[in-house]
């Protein structure tokens, strides 16, 4: 990693001047923060994306992890500062207690093995101040996703180019240790395109080998699921908490449509219905999930674009509303958001396809109140936002654009008083 990106600390001056420095100066893009602290809780939004130091062919315009305060009534994001210590933090996540933040670096030159990396930060829950703890190898090249295991003892990482998933132990102070397990997936080569592609879709997904794109647990925390976009499989296993080892389930994987490239998934609130978003054919596959055995059983496949759509598109993100009544999907290239109503049996009905008002929408996330839905538009260098009608599920564009270079990921938190 370059010397320019090796600073070890970050101080987020939310209650004071908008510059930040600990053991070297971290850049702040806005020094207009108020001089006195607000005693009320504040909603903060961390945004990551691609920087100049990025994956091969994937350098971006971002500067690192940008931190915003969200105005609760309007959803307007006001920039506080940008931490430039982490190259291409294309996916970030906070622990449930908001005490730690973990950011992967989607790179392939962290070490001589060509790995990416994961950086741990402590978070001051009263101010949002970040302090870098340490950085370790992600266990493979170009990581795409990470999550914190419900036990709080491990970070799980999906290494897209490395074709593997890794288990990183969390120490008592929130810092990370070297991987306790690295699992490489293998399987037959899949076609570049799915047979049920939208008409006129020239976009392809990489099926040259294993490409894990997401790793997380089911709501019970018993099973670990991995979406492998290269092998068109959903891998299912358990985690040995004592040893930090992944153990395949009795049925270790579920085969998806050849060429579909499963990318991200969410569960319904019961933990018994799995919604799996397939990137290449822009479909959501609805399945029954058995929380006792980890077995996946197909129910439905539904398009994320309307029947009149023609052209290239790649689905990116999937969310479920707090009520569990609506599912949302972002479509890259097509630059749209699909809005689905959830039936009593868990099946989906496409209600609307909403223009994202920007290019190449990637991650989406609700603010903590569920009032606003934000989308990171990588090629437009902007975050757009929508106010969501909780009764109908319909998102309405706020006409707000927040400039951020090559954004791809969000994390929200509400500060303590």
The string of pLDDT tens digits covering residues 258-272 is 999 999 999 999 999
What pLDDT score was predicted for residue 34? 36
* Residue pair 93/104 in contact by the 8 Å Cβ criterion: no
What pLDDT score was predicted for residue 391? 95
Residue 120: strand pairing partners: 102, 134
pTM given for the model: 0.90
The string of pLDDT tens digits covering residues 62-84 is 999 999 999 999 999 999 989 99
Q: Which residues neighbour 251 within 8 Å (Cβ) at sequence distance 6 or greater?
A: 236, 293, 294, 295, 296
Residue ranges of the chain with per-residue pLDDT less than 70: 1-39
- Long-range contacts at 248-254 (CB < 8 A, ≥ 24 apart): 249/223, 249/293, 249/294, 250/293, 250/294, 251/293, 251/294, 251/295, 251/296, 253/228, 254/287, 254/296
What pLDDT score was predicted for residue 122? 96
What pLDDT score was predicted for residue 39? 66
What pLDDT score was predicted for residue 26? 35
Class of residue 121 by CB neighbours under 10 A (exposed 0-12, middle 13-18, buried 19+): buried
What pLDDT score was predicted for residue 323? 96
* Residue pair 216/147 in contact by the 8 Å Cβ criterion: yes
What beta strand segments (E) does 164-209 contain?
164-169, 181-184
What pLDDT score was predicted for residue 14? 38
What pLDDT score was predicted for residue 13? 37
What pLDDT score was predicted for residue 217? 98
Outline where 148-249 has alpha helix (H).
none
């Amino acid at each position: 990693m370059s010397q320019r990106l090796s600073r070890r600390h970050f101080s987020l001056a939310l209650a004071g001047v908008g510059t930040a420095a600990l053991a070297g100066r971290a850049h702040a893009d806005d020094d207009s923060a108020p001089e006195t602290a607000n005693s009320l809780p504040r909603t903060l939004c961390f945004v990551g994306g691609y920087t100049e130091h990025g994956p091969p062919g994937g350098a971006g315009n971002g500067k690192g992890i940008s931190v915003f305060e969200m105005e609760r009534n309007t959803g307007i994001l006001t920039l506080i500062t940008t931490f430039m210590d982490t190259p291409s933090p294309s996916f970030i996540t906070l622990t449930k207690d908001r005490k730690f933040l973990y950011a992967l670096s989607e790179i392939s030159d962290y070490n001589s093995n060509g790995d990416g990396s994961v950086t741990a930060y402590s978070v001051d829950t009263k101010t949002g101040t970040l302090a870098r703890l340490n950085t370790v190898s992600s266990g493979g090249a170009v990581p795409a996703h990470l999550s914190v295991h419900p036990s709080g003892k491990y970070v799980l990482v999906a290494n897209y180019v490395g074709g593997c998933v890794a288990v990183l132990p969390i120490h008592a102070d929130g810092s990370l240790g070297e991987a306790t397990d690295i699992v490489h997936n293998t399987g037959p080569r899949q076609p570049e395109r799915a047979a049920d592609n939208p008409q006129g879709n020239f976009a392809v997904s990489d099926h040259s080998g294993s490409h894990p794109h997401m790793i997380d647990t089911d709501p019970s925390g018993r099973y670990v699921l991995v979406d492998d976009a290269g092998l068109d499989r959903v891998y299912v296993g358990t985690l040995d908490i004592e040893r930090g080892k992944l153990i395949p389930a009795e049925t270790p994987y579920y085969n998806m449509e050849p060429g579909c490239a499963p990318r991200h998934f969410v569960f319904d609130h019961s933990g018994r219905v799995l919604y799996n978003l397939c990137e290449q054919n822009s479909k959501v596959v609805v399945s029954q999930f058995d929380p006792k055995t980890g077995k996946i059983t197909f129910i439905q496949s539904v398009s994320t674009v309307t029947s009149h759509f023609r052209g290239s598109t790649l689905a990116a993100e999937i969310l479920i509303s707090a009520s569990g009544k609506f599912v949302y999907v972002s479509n890259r290239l097509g630059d749209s958001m699909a809005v689905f109503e959830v039936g009593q049996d868990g099946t989906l009905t496409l209600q609307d396809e909403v223009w994202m008002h920007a290019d190449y929408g990637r991650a989406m996330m609700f603010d903590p109140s569920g009032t606003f839905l934000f989308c990171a538009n990588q090629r437009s260098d902007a975050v757009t936002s929508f106010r969501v009608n909780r009764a109908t599920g319909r998102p309405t564009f706020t006409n707000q654009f927040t400039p951020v270079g090559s954004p791809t990921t969000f994390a929200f938190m509400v500060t303590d008083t």
